[in-house]
Amino acid sequence: MSVLKLRFAFLNHCVKLKSVSKTSTHFFTSRPLSSSCVNLGPLSPEVVPPPHKIQRPRRALLYVPGHDERKINKLQTLDVDCVALDCEDGVSLDKKEDARNTIHKLYEETASTFHGELCVRVNSPSSGFCESDIENIFSMSTLPPTVIVPKINSIQDITWMMNEKSRTILGRPTKRLFNVIFMTESSKGLINLQKIIEAGISACSPRFSCCHIAGIIFGSDDFCANLGIMRSKDASELIYARQKIVATCKAFGLQAIDMVYIDFKDNDGLEKQSLEGARMGFTGKQVIHPNQIPIVQKSFTPSDELLKWAEDLTEAFENSTEKSKLNFHTQGAFTFRGQMIDLPTVLQAKNIKLFSDFIKKT
């Protein structure tokens, strides 16, 4: 049996509820509470993962065409963690300028009434439209907290993007933290992912401290087109790419946002794929229709039963350390509900609690 299956078999046993299989049991902060991380090779001396922090949830990320005023004006009615006003795939070539102007006009008012995170997806660095997108975004009176950049395939792409962003924002006083999320959408982008992240972190650090590389999004449709393959219903042909993205993101403390489920009328299929992504370690999923939002967000939210398990385990651990007079890192295994529990499981329980608490605050 694989390590992944063993871990979830253990969690299901601990919670002792059949319903656990209907809710994700894999939740992460922006960086695991453990001080260790996956070793994907040596980092350059100046490249270090971002400091530990709990990022705002991005369980569901909805794309809305930037030129569609009607849809933008409806955002205040949606209960979704994150919306990306889109300048890229959701906008035809003849509507690119309309999208920029509409976002510029409506962003401040929309952001004031929308309860989630309102970000912007620009065009790719190689498209010829990205520079104008960036200039438009950073000339707005209210700046978006996050910019999504698609089709990052190389260090050159990320370097150009960060230099362009630095040039545009230079001289504008701000204490806001700008998040940047990149999209991996090709075989080249997947192979270069670690180097791309390292380059992004390096570009942020010396130029302006308000920049933060927040996560990676898997663009599966372009990825399949790049490989010349058809996407199947179960997406089995994408398992390697998805797992590599998750592992690389976790090594650098980044969020990993899973692919779109394109059949927006198939709720059962959406739930199955969402839960699968959560079990893999993804922190959220892209959505293309409002009806997908509740299913996806539930899949990436700890169930009441799992949260109770995490709270009880954490309390039992604290009682154990108090009795033994040991600290968090020196405490050995202890017994909980007939099981021997060690530090990694305690860390997982603490992550579940932290993530649940953060969701309640947003």
Q: Which residues are catalytic?
A: 342
In order of their start, the domains of the chain are: 34-301 (3.20.20.60), 306-361 (no CATH)
33 in Cβ contact with 58 (< 8 Å): no
Residue 121, annotated ligand binder?
yes
Question: Does residue 164 have a known ligand-binding role?
Answer: no
Model pLDDT for residues 269-316, shown as the tens digit of each residue = 999 999 999 999 999 999 999 999 999 999 999 888 999 999 999 888
Is residue 194 within 8 A of residue 40, CB to CB? The reply is yes
Strand partners, 65: 86
The mean per-residue pLDDT over the stretch 237-253 comes to 97
| Distant-in-sequence, close-in-space partners of 119: CB < 8 Å, separation ≥ 6 | 82, 83, 84, 85, 144, 145, 146, 147, 148, 179, 181
Residue 13 scores a pLDDT above 70: no
Q: What is the mean pLDDT of the chain?
A: 83
The angle formed by the CA atoms of residues 159, 52 and 317, to the nearest 5 degrees, is 155
Both structure tokens of 248: 């690389």
Pairing of strands 339-341, 334-336: antiparallel
Q: Tell me the pLDDT band of 362, cut-offs 50, 70 and 90.
A: low
**Strand spans (E) along the chain:** 60-65, 82-86, 117-121, 146-149, 178-184, 211-218, 255-258, 284-287, 334-336, 339-341
Q: What is the pTM of this model?
A: 0.80
Query: Per the annotation, does 185 bind a ligand?
Result: yes
Encoded tokens for 74: 């409806």
What is the Cβ-side half-sphere exposure of residue 198, based on CA atoms within 13 angstroms? 14
Q: Quote the CA–CA distance of 64 and 48 in Å, as a whole number.
A: 34
- pLDDT tens figures, 74-102: 999 999 999 999 999 999 999 999 999 99
pLDDT digits (tens, 9 = 90+) for 54-74: 678 999 999 999 999 999 999
In 3-state terms the chain splits into helix, strand, coil percentages (rounded to 5) of 50, 15, 35
CB 168: neighbour CB atoms within 10 A? 16
